[in-house]
Amino acid sequence: MEWDERRLGDRILSALELAVEQGNLTVAEPLAQALELSMTGFGGPEAVDHRGVPVRLMEALDRLDRLRHAQKVA
């Protein structure tokens, strides 16, 4: 984890990346759900998030999808 990660979502993303790197789908799945909750829950139901989706997040989710597929095949 980088020391400048102040947002909860950034820390969850780091944990998700580590879980996927280690091939731990059991941990990665709830982390992905927690990440989604942390990103959508901020600001209330009427809030509009003007930030783009970070490349790092998209890459982590792509790796998670590959891990899911690999677990199904195995």
pTM value surpassing 0.85 = no
Which is higher by pLDDT, 73 or 5?
73
Q: With respect to residue 3, please indicate whether it lies within any of the assigned structural domains.
A: no
> What average pLDDT does the segment 39-55 reach?
70
Q: Which residue has the higher pLDDT, 42 or 59?
A: 59
Domain range for 13:
8-73
Q: For the chain, how many structural domains are there in total?
A: 1
DSSP code for 22: T
Residue 1 lies in a domain: no
Average pLDDT in the chain: 86
The answer to whether residue 34 is domain-embedded is yes
User: What is the rounded distance in angstroms from the CA atom of residue 69 to the CA atom of residue 74?
Assistant: 9
* 23: confidence class by pLDDT, cuts 50, 70, 90: very high
User: Rounded to the nearest 10 degrees, what angle do helices 8-21 and 25-41 cross at?
Assistant: 160
Mean pLDDT of 7-32: 96
